[in-house]
Amino acid sequence: MSLAEPAALPVAASVPPRLHLLQRFTGRFKVSLPAYLLLLPSLVFLALFTYGAMGRVLIDALYQRATPKAPLRFVGLDNISAVLADPYFTGAVVNNLVYAVGTAIPSIGLALLFALALARTNVVTSALRAALFLPVLIPMVAASALFLFIFLPNVGLLDYYIGGLLPVVPNWLGDPDIALYAIMIITIWKNAGYYMLFFLAGLQSVPEDVMEAAHLDGAGPFMRLRYIILPELKPTFLFVIVIATLNAVTQVDHVFVMTKGGPSNSTNLVLFYIYQQAVEHYDIGKASAATMLTLAALMGLTALSFRTMANREGGP
């Protein structure tokens, strides 16, 4: 090689930056390809039956369905305005709020008591855990049929055992003032054992050395619960509250089986209202608008909950 001949450049430096990035991306894609293939079936179902369905609902909410006398037409936000002005929808929202609060608080309170009482593992507590979790395994329709026999006036088990103690035997599912509270009992009965599992898992994270130190310092069970256990369970509480709220909106089987929204719409919940609009009245636009409003509320609640949890953990 003569002295005037320029030295050869390194191979890496001779590759254009864009081509180098493409090679890196291709290399990473080849490494991740098996993982993407494993996720592909779930992603397809998620795209079709979740986001695809949400997109279809959004489109339907903006249109008025076709009739023999009028074609399908774009109405913009008219369906949403009609739903917000419908007293049956606002009544269902109020019922759902009462139902959510009335089922979430007792369910979570009972679940915490069950978890505290059954935290230690032995034969007895394991059997009691299984017994308390058993209602979770029973389908809501079957549980509703069971409680329907319990609530039947004059012949039901409830009237048989406590009817004689009351001056007037109530019609548990026929009285508009108490029907909603009667169906709340089923939800509390089913969900308490389910939420108990989360609190049992949360109790595992309570530091044993801190509990022992508090015990040696003379802190009683209430003091340890107030200042150690409950603060450690705050993330669990937040998560369970979100789950309980979602269950309060998405569970409607018992309403369909036991009351069908009655009497006088006293047990009509939001999801049952959507069912009535879509199936009984065949008003797809109004049902889709109510669905979009419900989804927006639930997504806002979920985002707020995740944000709160991130702040507690010191996240961004």
Hey, where are the domains in the chain? 21-74, 77-314
Residue 67: enclosing H or E segment and its boundaries? none
Q: In this prediction, what percent of the chain has a pLDDT beyond 70?
A: 91
Mean pLDDT of the chain: 85
Indicate the class that CATH gives domain 77-314. mainly alpha
Given pLDDT bands bounded at 50, 70 and 90, which one contains residue 1? very low
Pairwise pLDDT comparison (285 vs 1), residue with the higher score: 285
pTM for the predicted model, two decimal places: 0.81
Per-residue pLDDT tens over the stretch 163-217: 777 777 788 888 899 999 999 999 999 999 999 999 999 998 888 888 888 888 8
Stretch among 68-77, 172-181, 211-220, 293-302 having the lowest mean pLDDT? 68-77
At 225, list the tokens.
Answer: 């619960």
Q: Cα torsion for 271, 276, 282, 283, to the nearest 10°?
A: -60
Task: Quote the CA–CA distance of 316 and 306 in Å, as a whole number.
Answer: 11
Determine how many CB atoms are found less than 10 A away from the CB of residue 192: 23
Q: Which residues contact 191 (CB under 8 A, 6 or more apart)?
A: 103, 107, 111, 136, 244, 247
The pLDDT confidence band at residue 18, using thresholds 50, 70 and 90, is: low
